[in-house]
Amino acid sequence: MLRYIVVIFLVSLFFTPAKTQPKYEVRAAWVATIYGLDWPTNKALTPTDTHRQKEELTDMLDKLKRANFNTVLLQTRIRGTVIYPSDYEPISSVFTGQTNGYPGYDPLAFAIEECHKRGMECHAWIVTIPIGGQKQMNELGIESVTKKYPSICLSYKGEWYLNPAHPQTKEYLMKLVHEVVEKYDIDGVHFDYLRYPEYIQNSFDSRDYQNYRHGKQLGQWRRDNITNILRHLHKGVKDLKPWVKVSSSPLGKYDNTTQYPSKNWNSYHTAYQDVDLWLREGLQDQVYPMMYFRGNCFYSFALDWKERSNGRQIIPGLGIYLLDPKEMNWRCEDIETQLHFIRSNSLEGAAYYRVKYLTDNVKGLHNELSDKFYAAPALIPPMPWLDNRPPTPPSQLIVTDATSEYIHLNWNKAFDNDTQNAPCYVVYASDEYPVNISRPENIIAQRIYETNYTYTHTYPQKRKEYFAVTATDRYGNESEAIQLTSNIWEVPGR
């Protein structure tokens, strides 16, 4: 049956227009800092270099903003190194060429601030279990995790890993996560490589298994080890800042489906990630399965993820690096078909690996997204399982200044049951009154922290006539709108 559904869907793409753009949709990009793959590509050795390094990131964010992206997954912990001043691990050498070299600014704090300026969320992408090869351990010396905490580290085939079976592994990871969540205004923590190495042999953890198996089969024991780490991290994040999203990027196939086998590559058996259990226990707000494949495999496994979602957000990760002629030389249409499928089946959005292939406009993908699929902005989907009470609407929306080119809006602040975070605001504009806030094309600004906004009319676009403002909280709940009841351009005397 699933095979016929997929065929019908593909045929329908050629006879039906793209689904109306949703108001709520995750549009995310992974920004890889390992080896400076996406950022930074230059070292900060002088103040000029530092400025160039920061400008490289803001240029990247500007391109994402032009395509109406709303989420950045920034690699924050790489492999035993980080991108911020830490009490536990050194700053990566990608910024200065030297381990623990300070580039003249805090890269994580800077990235968060710049994302928020553009109305985008910034999530800390944290590589969990792998900590690097022997060469890197030698370069890090006494700063390496293997030297500081040797009891929780394992070496396997020339690579080092945190030991998922060791009870102190989850405590160590929690120190890193707590540090990031407490010190920074991060919107989410995104766990990568929260899994065992693929296709490992029993020698990886045979001693631990003999000591701690408690009668469990090896596969289940390994899955329980990973799940116990996630339980600990999830609780730590939510105890500190409950609005911070907890997500992960598991292998793109959970298990075999009834129609298509996973060909011995899946999260459940290959990597020991019991994501179905994570979702049922509420340990995930979002899941970004790495679905770097196309065709029937993509469709059937995307539907399988949706069926397992338990109401949480499933955001398929798309392998846009495969557009590169040096990789698989995919066509842009391959990604477009996946986006059609995601929307047609009401998945919560898409994530793109990696951002460089967006900003470089490989195969015209950035143009296609900004002109077609993401022509209108989108808000982040709410999380009603955490909080479903919207803020009060803002009040007394007025115009305090206006010319033929701009108007300055002002309003009174909204209030929310979340005492730790003041609401922020979304501004809408339209040619019709009242402004329809269900239409995403009417969004002109989001994540506004102040109680004012200046609308600038840019030619040759048609000037907006009516305005409305809503309040949103950190859980994505949106208030009712306050409307500007008059057409400001028709006010007598103007």
Mean pLDDT over 16-43 rounds to: 91
- Residue 172 has, within 13 A of its CA and on its CB side, a CA count of 23
Alpha helices in 14-133 (DSSP H): 47-66, 107-117
- 110: its two tokens: 């800077």
Distance between CA atoms of residues 270 and 257, nearest Å? 15
Q: What is the pLDDT of residues 267-302, one digit of tens each?
A: 999 999 999 999 999 999 999 999 999 998 899 999
What local confidence, expressed as pLDDT, does residue 18 receive? 52
Q: State yes or no: pLDDT of 37 exceeds 50.
A: yes
Distant-in-sequence, close-in-space partners of 170: CB < 8 Å, separation ≥ 6: 228, 229, 232, 233
Distant-in-sequence, close-in-space partners of 428: CB < 8 Å, separation ≥ 6: 435, 437, 442, 443, 444, 467, 468, 469, 470, 481
Higher model confidence: residue 18 or residue 168? 168
Pairing of strands 349-352, 317-318: parallel
Distance between CA atoms of residues 289 and 317, nearest Å? 6
| Cis peptide upstream of residue 47 (ω within 30 degrees of 0) | no
Which letter does DSSP use for residue 121 in this model? Answer: E
Q: What is the pLDDT of residues 142-184, one digit of tens each?
A: 999 999 999 999 999 999 999 999 999 999 999 999 999 999 9
Q: State yes or no: pLDDT of 44 exceeds 70.
A: yes
What local confidence, expressed as pLDDT, does residue 71 receive? 99
What local confidence, expressed as pLDDT, does residue 487 receive? 72
DSSP string computed for 422-460: --EEEEEEESSSS--TT-GGGEEEEEE-SSEEEEE--TT
What local confidence, expressed as pLDDT, does residue 457 receive? 79
Distance between CA atoms of residues 181 and 267, nearest Å? 27
What local confidence, expressed as pLDDT, does residue 437 receive? 99
Model confidence at 17, pLDDT cuts 50, 70, 90, reads very low
**Residues pairing with 162 in the sheet:** 153
Cα four-point dihedral sign 276, 278, 280, 284: negative
What local confidence, expressed as pLDDT, does residue 464 receive? 80
What structural domains does the chain harbor? 2-373 (3.20.20.80), 395-490 (2.60.40.10)
Q: State yes or no: pLDDT of 491 exceeds 80.
A: no
What local confidence, expressed as pLDDT, does residue 459 receive? 65
Q: State yes or no: pLDDT of 4 exceeds 90.
A: no
Higher model confidence: residue 303 or residue 9? 303
Distance between CA atoms of residues 461 and 463, nearest Å? 6
Q: What percent of the chain has pLDDT over 90?
A: 88
Q: State yes or no: pLDDT of 493 exceeds 60.
A: no
Distance between CA atoms of residues 296 and 298, nearest Å? 5
Q: What is the pLDDT of residues 344-358, one digit of tens each?
A: 999 999 999 999 999
Please state the separation of Cα 198 from the chain's center in Å. 24
What local confidence, expressed as pLDDT, does residue 461 receive? 67
Q: State yes or no: pLDDT of 7 exceeds 70.
A: no
What local confidence, expressed as pLDDT, does residue 422 receive? 94
Q: What is the pLDDT of residues 387-444, one digit of tens each?
A: 999 999 999 999 998 887 889 999 999 999 998 999 999 999 999 999 999 999 999 9
Distance between CA atoms of residues 57 and 43, nearest Å? 13
Q: What is the pLDDT of residues 309-331, one digit of tens each?
A: 999 999 999 999 999 999 999 99
CA-closest candidate to residue 180, choices 58, 77, 333? 77
Instruction: Give the amino acid at 252.
Output: G
Distance between CA atoms of residues 57 and 38, nearest Å? 9
Distant-in-sequence, close-in-space partners of 261: CB < 8 Å, separation ≥ 6: none
Mean pLDDT over 4-9 rounds to: 48
Contacts 24+ apart (CB under 8 A), 213-218: none
Model confidence at 488, pLDDT cuts 50, 70, 90, reads low
Model confidence at 259, pLDDT cuts 50, 70, 90, reads confident
Distance between CA atoms of residues 36 and 33, nearest Å? 5
Q: What is the pLDDT of residues 439-486, one digit of tens each?
A: 999 999 999 999 999 999 776 667 788 999 999 999 999 999 999 987
Distance between CA atoms of residues 332 and 336, nearest Å? 6
Average pLDDT of every residue of the chain:
94
What local confidence, expressed as pLDDT, does residue 258 receive? 84
Burial track 405-415 (b if 16+ CB lie within 10 A, e otherwise): eebebbbeebb
